[in-house]
Amino acid sequence: MSEVRIAAEPRTEFGKGAARRARRAGKVPAVLYGHGTEPRHIHLPGHDLMLALKTPNVLLRVDGIEGKDNLALPKSVQRDPIKGFLEHVDLLVVKRGEKVAVEIPVNLTGEIAKGGVLNQELVQVEVLAEATHIPEGVEFDVDGLEVGAHVTAGDLKLPSGVELSTDAETILLTVAAERTEEEIEGEGAEAPTGEAADAEVAEAPAGEAE
C-alpha cells in the first residue's frame, strides 16, 4: 500500500474564523487520535494532503508531532459540498502489526457473455488488514458470466493476511437478461385512463343533526 510522509504543525486556534484563515494559508485543520492518546489538533499542508487522499486508505506518516513520526489512517474527511476543498480531516493512529477494519473498492474486469446485463450491487467490501499492508482494492473477473449468474462477497479472492468482514453471503453482482424492445416499449406506454371513474367515493349524508 502507499505510505506518504506529511509534515504537521500544532493547531492552537479554533473556531470557524481560525479554520478559514488556515485554509487561506493552504493548511487543513485535522485531529490525530487513537491508542489511548489525547486527541492532538494539528494543521496539514492542503496540497500535499489532497494528493495523498487520492489513494484509498493511504497510510500517512505524520511528522512534527511531539518529535516523532505517527502512522495514521484517514477516518473522516470533510469537504466543501460545492467547491470540494478539504475542510477537516480525522486521522486514526495505527501501529505496525495491528489489524484495522477498512473498506476497499471492488474493481470488476472482463466482459460478461452476450445477452446479459451486469448489475454490481456492492462497490466496496469491509476487510480486516494489517495497518501497513492495506490493499488499495480487490479485483473480480466477470469474463464469460452468463444470465442468471450471481456472485457473493465470499467469492472474492483477497490478498494473503486480509480477512473479509462483510457478510460472505452478501450479493456482490448479478447478471440479468437484456430487456427486449417489446418490454421497453411496454414500459413507455401510457397508463390506462379513466381509473378514477372506477373508484367509488363514499360521501357522508349531509344535514344530519344530533
Neighbours of 198 (CB within 10 A): 7
In the block, residue with C-alpha cell 451486469: 118
* Angstrom distance (rounded) from CA 30 to CA 11: 8
For 101-180, CATH number out of 2.170.120.20, 3.40.630.30, 2.60.120.10, 3.40.50.720 equals 2.170.120.20
Domain 3-94 has what CATH class? mainly beta
* Overall residue count recorded for the chain in this entry: 210
Structure pTM? 0.68
Q: Do domains 3-94 and 101-180 have the same CATH topology?
A: no
Contact 88, 78 (CB under 8 A): yes
Domains in the chain: boundaries: 3-94, 101-180
* Angstrom distance (rounded) from CA 123 to CA 165: 15
Give 137-175 pLDDT, tens digit per residue: 999 999 999 999 999 999 999 999 999 999 999 999 999
Give 20-31 pLDDT, tens digit per residue: 788 888 889 999
